[in-house]
Amino acid sequence: MMDGPRSDVGRWGGNPWQPPTTPSPEPEPERRSRRGGRSFWARCCGCCSCRNAADDDWGPEPSDSRDRGSSSGTRRPGSRGSVSHRPISWGSGVNAAGDGTIREGMLVVTGVDLMSSRSDQNRREHHTDEYEYDELIVRRGQPFHVLLVLSRTYESSDRITLELLIGNNPEVGKGTHVIIPVGKGGSGGWKAQVVKTNGQNLNLRVHTSPNAIIGKFQFTVRTQSDAGEFQLPFDPRNEIYILFNPWCPEDIVYVDHEDWRQEYVLNESGRIYYGTEAQIGERTWNYGQFDHGVLDACLYILDRRGMPYGGRGDPVSVSRVISAMVNSLDDNGVLIGNWSGDYSRGTNPSAWVGSVEILLSYLRTGYSVPYGQCWVFAGVTTTVLRCLGLATRTVTNFNSAHDTDTSLTMDIYFDENMKPLEHLNHDSVWNFHVWNDCWMKRPDLPSGFDGWQVVDATPQETSSGIFCCGPCSVESIKNGLVYMKYDTPFIFAEVNSDKVYWQRQDDGSFKIVYVEEKAIGTLIVTKAVGSNMREDITYLYKHPEGSDAERKAVETAAAHGSKPNVYANRGSAEDVAMQVEAQDAVMGQDLNVSVMLTNQSSSPRTVKLHLYLSVTYYTGVTGTIFKETKKEVALAPGASDRVTMPVAYKEYRPHLVDQGAMLLNVSGHVKESGQVLAKQHTFRLRTPDLSLTLLGAAVVGQECEVQIVFKNPLPVTLTNVVFRLEGSGLQRPKILNVGDIGGNETVTLRQTFVPVRPGPRQLIASLDSPQLSQVHGVIQVDVAPASGDRGLFSDAGGDSHLGETIPMASRGGA
């Protein structure tokens, strides 16, 4: 937990607005304190460290905490337009002299049609027709069409120039002021051509640079004729969003697989995996990258960090800034992390069902949203990067290490009797950790490191003094090349370090008694392309466990760590094998854990075994030991025996923490050989799912009803129960307060919604209470289009309804 006010209050530290004092600062996982002194860009991005305070392309400061938008003209999500074709914007215009006089014979632009509605050619060809916006949204490196309405017929002697501007003080040299002469070759891939003239209408094809800055541009037109010069005034209706383009081979974010683009750029929902390797849970997450207001929120994040506009064409820099800004440390970013178990001043991280509510709250208020944990940070990061045009996926690493001393090993210390020395055990192993992969070329690295790059927005350790992580090439992680930027040592340790057990000796020194080589990064998964199946991508991050290539990668990485000679101290005979087993346990029920011992030698063996059971947060932070068992086991040559420890619900109930996870610490000593046995095993208690049923057909613009059924698995009353309901194109984030649910009681509630976009959609729900969390459910809704319509941008889908009290439709006993 941080003490006192943060030293870095963000881009506008001198502004009268200050970050809120509540909710309380983050009780984050253990981490190094941040380094002060230099600016974010000097510490985070070497290419931007030369910026001085006089640069003017950072955009204006926000006027107050309630009205902060993109300095490029980002509009808040207030009114939402229809999908009907936008009318041509008609401008009065001025001459170059600025006196407003329109002389006879001047070429005056009397109207502009950017063909920006969802049903128009531009939006469809640029794969932006799902964005709930009326403005033109295009992807860089790809042409779009513009219709100019002129005061007279266009003649060959006339000259027309298009201009795009972004930022507070646009400059041609920084790429923030783009000049495009019609009919002439532009610079850097920018050009415009006349496609057709029809009387006073002029059809143009405009080509954007594949390296263009991303953001919201102002658009204007200049003309020059024998009668004088004319400039069309800026019109908010003519603003243009430019995004990264994974469909463009010249863009460094290009993805050469259409099914990947459909999944990693255009899919608005996905699966996030959690739990343990042996008990994998999954939940559906509403990314909602096309919901109205989300694109503005993504650009606001870049503005809020103060990212120079000139750097916004580089996906390496943009993704690194997003990893810093999705968490609130250093910069009052989007989400406040909380691992304390007390969420009374915000939302339990397990209760979120998507990113939309979080991002719109940040855009609307300017305040960090409480609370997030790793899967929430990753879900929001996926939304932001997909929205901006980067192919991105959410990745879960089971048994994820948190290396605090840069040794690139997980070090666990024990006393002479093999009891854990918790005051020395600063490294931890998270049951699971969720981060992101995004796809891009890495021109800043040697060849061979393009492709998937890790970006991690969960604040664990600082990178160049800032709580951000990545982008880091997955290929460099796989081969232990920890000197590659960014943050490869930390991520390598998360997926492929060894767990090293140290025992204190009589003289006070420590000796390695056991090295567990297959304990970290045991399974790395993501949602499969085109289905809701789980895909194992461990092979991308690691060579096969135990292979020569994998051992070489580990030892290469460790040689660059703080304990380079750790593997020189290994070695002892091992002829007794140990395996830990835990049944598939359900929240509210009794359970059993057991240890299987096998004597692999030809001589008898006697094992003294000690089992400690405690609850644990998914971050590896453990509670107090609430049950333990000691036993001496005699094993004949080649024999096996099982030691079982039953655990009753009444024993573990008072100690439960988030995620319902438990940690079994097993240590033992073989009397005859001196072999030391050590194992840590984590398992979780399963929670029930919500059952969602659609009551009737779903049609755009027509009310539809869904039924939600839940049975309380606990014999105790759930108090202050809150449901959340959300689905892109179906339902804006909605909160339902349902009061208390009795022990083992079944409840049913019904909710109506009005779909606003056709096609297959996901409606996602969650339940949260102080007694039970991590309860969720999902249903696919196939929405038929309304007759002659592609969808609605009205609020028929429901705005965020906060704090609505919902009566139960029915209640039933167990």
> Do 446 and 515 fall into the same domain?
yes
Q: Classify each residue of 189-217 as buried b or exposed e, where b means 16 or more C-beta atoms within 10 Å of its C-beta.
A: ebbbeeeeeeeebbbbebbbbbebbbbbb
pLDDT of residue 164 exceeding 70: yes
- Domains contained in the chain, number: 4
**Is 788 among the domain residues?**
no
> Do 496 and 364 fall into the same domain?
yes
Which pLDDT value is given to residue 14?
A: 31
- Final residue of a domain: which of 648, 669, 686? 686
The answer to the question of whether 545 is labelled as a binding residue is yes
Distance of CA 467 to the CA centre of its chain: 15
List the beta strands (DSSP E) in 636-774.
Answer: 640-647, 661-670, 676-684, 691-695, 698-699, 704-711, 718-727, 731-741, 746-753, 759-768
- Final residue of a domain: which of 209, 243, 277? 243
**Is 52 among the domain residues?**
no
Residue-wise pLDDT for 769-789, tens only, equals 999 989 999 999 999 998 765
> Do 350 and 478 fall into the same domain?
yes
The answer to the question of whether 201 is labelled as a binding residue is no
Which pLDDT value is given to residue 511?
A: 87
> Do 204 and 325 fall into the same domain?
no
pLDDT band for position 98 (cuts 50, 70, 90): low
Of 350, 425, 395, 622, nearest to 491 by C-alpha is 395
Domain that holds residue 489: 258-559
Question: Mean pLDDT over all residues of the chain?
Answer: 83
Which pLDDT value is given to residue 526?
A: 98
More confident residue, 538 or 105: 538
> Do 212 and 266 fall into the same domain?
no
**Is 62 among the domain residues?**
no
> Do 134 and 234 fall into the same domain?
yes
Residue-wise pLDDT for 166-217, tens only, equals 998 999 989 999 999 998 876 778 999 999 999 999 999 999 999 999 999 9
pLDDT band for position 406 (cuts 50, 70, 90): low
**Is 555 among the domain residues?**
yes
Which pLDDT value is given to residue 105?
A: 85
**Residue numbers annotated as active site:** 374, 433, 456
More confident residue, 423 or 302: 302
HSE toward the beta carbon, residue 563, CA cutoff 13 A: 18
Do the beta carbons of residue 223 and residue 159 sit within 8 Å?
Answer: yes
CATH code at 458? 3.90.260.10
Between 22-36, 222-236, 361-375, 696-710, the lowest mean confidence (pLDDT) is in 22-36
pLDDT of residue 79 exceeding 60: no
Angle at 693 between CA 692 and CA 697, to 5 degrees: 135
The predicted model scores a pTM of: 0.83
Which pLDDT value is given to residue 811?
A: 43
Which pLDDT value is given to residue 225?
A: 92
* DSSP states along 99-164: S----TT---EEEEE---STTSHHHHHTT-TTSS-SSEEEETTS-EEEEEEESS---TT-EEEEEE
Which pLDDT value is given to residue 37?
A: 42
pLDDT band for position 449 (cuts 50, 70, 90): very high
Which pLDDT value is given to residue 46?
A: 45
The answer to the question of whether 565 is labelled as a binding residue is no
Which pLDDT value is given to residue 804?
A: 60
**Is 408 among the domain residues?**
yes
Mean pLDDT, residues 724-738 taken together? 94
The answer to the question of whether 229 is labelled as a binding residue is no
Residue-wise pLDDT for 298-346, tens only, equals 999 999 999 999 999 999 999 999 999 999 988 899 999 998 889 999 9
> Do 461 and 520 fall into the same domain?
yes
Mean pLDDT, residues 119-134 taken together? 96
**Is 564 among the domain residues?**
no
Between 533-547, 637-651, 668-682, the lowest mean confidence (pLDDT) is in 668-682
Which pLDDT value is given to residue 107?
A: 94
More confident residue, 808 or 376: 376
> Do 317 and 442 fall into the same domain?
yes
CATH code at 625? 2.60.40.10
> Do 358 and 422 fall into the same domain?
yes
Which pLDDT value is given to residue 41?
A: 45
**Is 602 among the domain residues?**
yes
pLDDT band for position 112 (cuts 50, 70, 90): very high
Do the beta carbons of residue 232 and residue 221 sit within 8 Å?
Answer: yes
- Final residue of a domain: which of 651, 669, 686? 686
Residue-wise pLDDT for 507-557, tens only, equals 889 988 888 877 889 999 999 999 999 999 999 999 887 788 877 777 766
> Do 586 and 650 fall into the same domain?
yes
Residue-wise pLDDT for 738-749, tens only, equals 999 999 999 999
Between 46-50, 225-229, 232-236, 406-410, the lowest mean confidence (pLDDT) is in 46-50
Which pLDDT value is given to residue 99?
A: 56
Reading the block at residue 90, the tokens are 């008609």
- Residues whose CB falls within 8 Å of the CB of residue 71, separated by 6 or more in sequence, listed in order: 58, 59, 60, 167, 168, 303
> Do 311 and 450 fall into the same domain?
yes
More confident residue, 193 or 424: 193
Which pLDDT value is given to residue 428?
A: 76
Which pLDDT value is given to residue 709?
A: 97
Angle at 77 between CA 763 and CA 122, to 5 degrees: 80
Which pLDDT value is given to residue 39?
A: 45
DSSP, res 18: -
The span from the CA of 513 to the CA of 500, in Å, is 8
Which pLDDT value is given to residue 572?
A: 56
Residue-wise pLDDT for 561-603, tens only, equals 555 555 555 555 678 999 988 777 888 888 889 999 999 999 9
> Do 379 and 278 fall into the same domain?
yes
**Is 791 among the domain residues?**
no
* Residue positions counted in the chain: 814
